[in-house]
Amino acid sequence: MKNIQLLDKTFSLSIPASDIKKAIWEMAEKINRELRDSDPLMICILNGSFMFSADLMKLIDFPCQISFVKLASYEGTGSTGKVKELIGFNEDLKGRTVVLLEDIVDTGVTVENCVNQLNKMGVKEVVVASLLFKPDALKKDIKLDYVGLKIPNDFIVGYGLDYNGYGRNLPDIYSLTADN
């Protein structure tokens, strides 16, 4: 199994790029079918979602807007349980169908925070699309509308996800090995 080293930690290959691509194709197909008449505004949650959002958006086959927010809840290999807002929601979203684009839903703290903020702003509906979901880590009562892949509760890097800023550029996803 292919291993990589990032700073002090070793990771082993867990999800190859071909599986990620297939999951995004399937999600895009559903979104194209189900949201094309809603004039949705996609919101990419930076940093982690940059790669997923870019690949998904290229497969959306109707005119569609995208905007960006920058939030952080994870430090090192764990959740802080709090969401830091580095660039927030600053457009008029009243009455819009908003699609949150997440690379991963882990504890659910970030998505819950976004959904609450968007509902206060008077959106019509919030739709959540996440490439990855860790069901065993979830601590919040949130609804996920589109999920690419369900994964075990292991710390992962690659395809946008990082360990202390490293690993985001990897095309495959790797998980932390037991010997760390």
Ligand X SMILES: O=P(O)(O)OC[C@H]1O[C@H](OP(=O)(O)OP(=O)(O)O)[C@H](O)[C@@H]1O
Which residues are identified as catalytic? 106
Residue 47 contact, options ligand HPA, ligand X, none, Cβ 5-8 Å cut-off depending on partner type: ligand X
Sign of torsion, CA 145 75 71 47? negative
Which residue's CB is nearer to ligand HPA, number 53 or number 162? 162
Tokens of 125: 């509906």
What's the gap between Cα 139 and its chain centre?
16
Q: Which amino acid is at 166?
A: Y
Q: Which residues of 26-45 are buried (b: 16+ CB within 10 A; e: fewer)?
A: ebbeebeeebeebebbbbbb
- 161 touching ligand HPA, by CB under 6 A: yes
Q: Which of 134, 179, 138, 130 is nearest to 156 (CA)?
A: 134
**Binding track, positions 92-131, relative to ligand X; x by CB under 6 A:** ----------xxxxxxxxx---------------------
Whether residue 41 contacts residue 67, with contact meaning beta carbons closer than 8 Å, is answered with yes
Q: What residue is closest to ligand X based on CB?
A: 48
> Residue 13 class from Cβ within 10 Å (0-12 exposed, 13-18 middle, 19+ buried)?
middle
Stretch binding ligand HPA (CB under 6 A), from 13-21, 24-32, 50-58, 149-157:
149-157
74 binds ligand HPA (CB under 6 A): yes
DSSP assignment, residue 140? S
Please select the residue that binds ligand HPA; options are 99, 104, 126, 144, rule is CB under 6 A: 104
Number of residues that bind ligand X (CB under 6 A): 18
Q: Check residue 52 for interaction with ligand X (CB under 6 A).
A: no
- If the CB atoms of residues 18 and 80 are measured against ligand HPA, the closer one turns out to be 80
Structure tokens at 77: 């290999």
Cβ closest to ligand HPA, residue 133 vs residue 146: 133
Q: Using CB under 6 A as the criterion, which residues of the chain lie in contact with ligand HPA when the complex forms? A: 74, 104, 106, 155-157, 161-162
